[in-house]
Amino acid sequence: MRIATWNINSAKARQARLIEWLDRAAPDVVCLQETKLSDDAFLELFDEDLFRRGYRIAHHGDGRWNGVAILSRGSLDNVVRGLPGGPGFPGPEPRAIAATCDGIRVWSLYVPNGRTVDDPHYAYKLTWLAALRDVVVAESARGPLMTLGDFNIAPTDADVWDVAQFEGATHVTPAERSALAALVDAGLTDVLRARWPDDVVYTYWDYRQLCFPKNYGMRIDLTLATADVAERVCAVWVDRAARKGTGTSDHAPVVVDLDTAPDGDVGPMVPPPSSRGSSSRGSSGRSTSSDSLRQR
């Protein structure tokens, strides 16, 4: 099973690139952030192309800013839009969506930026992360879980190209890193860093000043997983090719390949037959052993 996350910085501006990337990378599950579209507008642009490729769609957006989605070629059940118990600014913003995909509870997240440490958005970011931790604690007790997306936090100084550039800035503060550590304490593993402990790996490069060619980047798009998922990881990488050329997002996708669950057991998060199909097309809402064997 291949699961990926990508902040595409406008699904409308990235329409052709997203489809090309799906055909090239062939992910089974995709978490998107910053679609910057309403639910209706997203479907208008993508429903046909994604349906033809076998993807079901769960989108949560209200138009100009934010916007998150999950696409799945397998099951896409028990969709939740928004972060339960999370703060707004001042009202709720579309920064989180969850679905159960082939036995894994998947969250696509766009954590608030924070802007500057003295901006109200910074306190909002920390409160939002605390609410996320509560959700992770509650849901990870029930089965396999992943949180993927743009966390707007560089976990360590090794995750920015020059820490001196971030003196006093958001994304690297102890409070933000503590909020991230609380997710790790709740049982999540940063599976990219676990696989590549000593490598320079970035997922975001500013559009300005040749940052990408110089590899002046940050690793802020994270893939966190409970232990039962983390131990299935075969490979994790950043698809830098998606950042090359013109008309790209300023983020690159992060891709995670998972081995089949032991004995085809996809875990207890799979809903019973009575709650199937509330959010998806097609007939297969429940994963079975044979489904698992069909996964790449």
Distance (Å, rounded) from C-alpha 11 to C-alpha 293?
32
Helices 120-140/174-185 angle, 10° precision: 10
How far CA 146 is from CA of 102, 129, 139, 233, in Å, comes to: 12, 15, 10, 12
Report strand pairing: 77-81 vs 233-238.
unpaired
Beta carbon nearer to DNA, 100 or 173:
173
Write down the least CB distance from residue 231 to DNA, Å.
Answer: 30
Q: Which run of H or of E encompasses 258? A: strand 254-258
Q: Is 239 in the site for DNA (CB under 7 A)?
A: no
Catalytic entry in 28, 39, 102, 150: 150
Give the chain's length: 296
Please pick, from the candidates 246, 274, 283, 290, the single residue that binds DNA as defined by CB under 7 A. Answer: 246
Beta carbon nearer to DNA, 61 or 285:
61
Q: Is 92 in the site for DNA (CB under 7 A)?
A: no
Q: Are 31 and 222 in contact (CB under 8 A)?
A: no
Q: Is 36 in the site for DNA (CB under 7 A)?
A: yes
- Nearest alpha carbon to residue 60 among 22, 99, 90: 99
Output the six-digit token pair for 40: 């209706």
- Nearest alpha carbon to residue 203 among 187, 192, 219: 219
Is 121 an active-site residue? no
**Letter string b/e over residues 273-287, b meaning 16 or more CB atoms within 10 A of that residue's CB:** eeebbebbeeeebbb
Q: Is 196 in the site for DNA (CB under 7 A)?
A: no
Q: Is 108 in the site for DNA (CB under 7 A)?
A: no
Write down the least CB distance from residue 153 to DNA, Å.
Answer: 9
Q: Is 171 in the site for DNA (CB under 7 A)?
A: yes
Write down the least CB distance from residue 85 to DNA, Å.
Answer: 21
Please pick, from the candidates 24, 53, 244, 281, the single residue that binds DNA as defined by CB under 7 A. Answer: 244
Beta carbon nearer to DNA, 171 or 232:
171
Catalytic entry in 77, 204, 251, 257: 251
Q: Among residue numbers 201 through 220, which ones bind DNA (CB under 7 A)?
A: 204, 206-210, 212-214, 218, 220
Write down the least CB distance from residue 248 to DNA, Å.
Answer: 7
Distance (Å, rounded) from C-alpha 157 to C-alpha 9?
25
Distance (Å, rounded) from C-alpha 133 to C-alpha 110?
14
Write down the least CB distance from residue 270 to DNA, Å.
Answer: 33
Please pick, from the candidates 90, 174, 197, 247, the single residue that binds DNA as defined by CB under 7 A. Answer: 247
Write down the least CB distance from residue 167 to DNA, Å.
Answer: 14
Residues with Cβ within 8 Å of 279's Cβ and at least 6 positions away in sequence, in order, are 56, 58, 76, 77, 78, 79, 99
Q: Positive or negative, the Cα torsion across 215, 218, 222, 227?
A: positive
Q: Is 184 in the site for DNA (CB under 7 A)?
A: no
Please pick, from the candidates 43, 49, 51, 115, the single residue that binds DNA as defined by CB under 7 A. Answer: 115
- Enumerate binding residues for DNA (CB under 7 A): 7, 9-10, 12-13, 34, 36, 63-65, 112-113, 115, 121, 150, 152, 170-171, 204, 206-210, 212-214, 218, 220, 241, 244-247, 250-251
Q: Which residues are catalytic?
A: 110, 150, 251
